[in-house]
Amino acid sequence: MDLQLNGKVALVAGSSRGIGRAIAAALLREGCRVCITGRDDASLHLAGEEMAKSFGEEYILKLSGDLTDSKIIAGALGSVVKVWGSLDILIANVGSGSGKLGWDQSDAEWERLFNMNFFGSVRLAQTAIPHMQKRGGSIVFISSIVGVEATPAPLPYSAAKSALINYCKNLARAVAEYKIRVNCIAPGNIFFHGGSWERNLENRRESVMQYIASEVPLNRFGTPEEVADMTIFLASPVSGFVTGGCFIVDGGQTRTI
């Protein structure tokens, strides 16, 4: 299927590894020019080199920094527009689920996880929207299944991802007049090199595999590429009547409608 993405300009936050990297590669395969970002210079440089070999250096812009910081966000988006003249797609893949378990959470922990998993994405969207107002565009937030039902994940992380889903739906209505579409992906258990599930398997393989077998009907981990396929569909003109939705990619794990 032609997703009509050839020549579009995209910024993918958190794209030096894992889900973000897979999304960036999928957009490049469709002919997009893609800005990849990451906080670790070495990982970002390696990802950029490997993508350049496959797709060409002229299609890739590498920007290092923390994309929860307003100044860095403004600089990154400004660089994209300066180099390529526009911004058509924003993939807000920002956050981390690493945190303390249990009900007793400090104010600092709530603030830390909300800043990483909610406010960072909000700042990205608010900075990107002015660049999209004239010609329209697509914003896709990467949330999590922890935002749609109860799980053992840290409470501040779950609440932040739930808030992101709600923000997505309401933002979609607020910017529809500019022909900007806003959608959200809620991935389940996604395995990739260097990710948390790789570490969990190394430390407690038997219990992890029992968990997958009991909780995931498809009885396996998902891949970053499977999340990427859904993401670029939502980012593309082919899904032009889709906005304000949250799309779950979890092998059937969630029971919430």
Active-site residue among 157, 167, 178, 211? 157
Closest CA to 19 of 42, 3, 38: 38
Token pair recorded at residue 208: 């992890």
Contacts with 10 (C-beta within 8 Å, 6 or more apart), sequence order: 24, 27, 32, 33, 34, 35, 87, 88, 89, 90, 91, 235
Judge whether 157 counts as a catalytic residue: yes
Question: d(Cα 37, Cα 39) in Å, to the nearest integer?
Answer: 7
User: In the block, which residue shows the tokens 């003249």?
Assistant: 85
* 8 A C-beta contact, residue 90 and residue 139: yes
Catalytic residues: 157
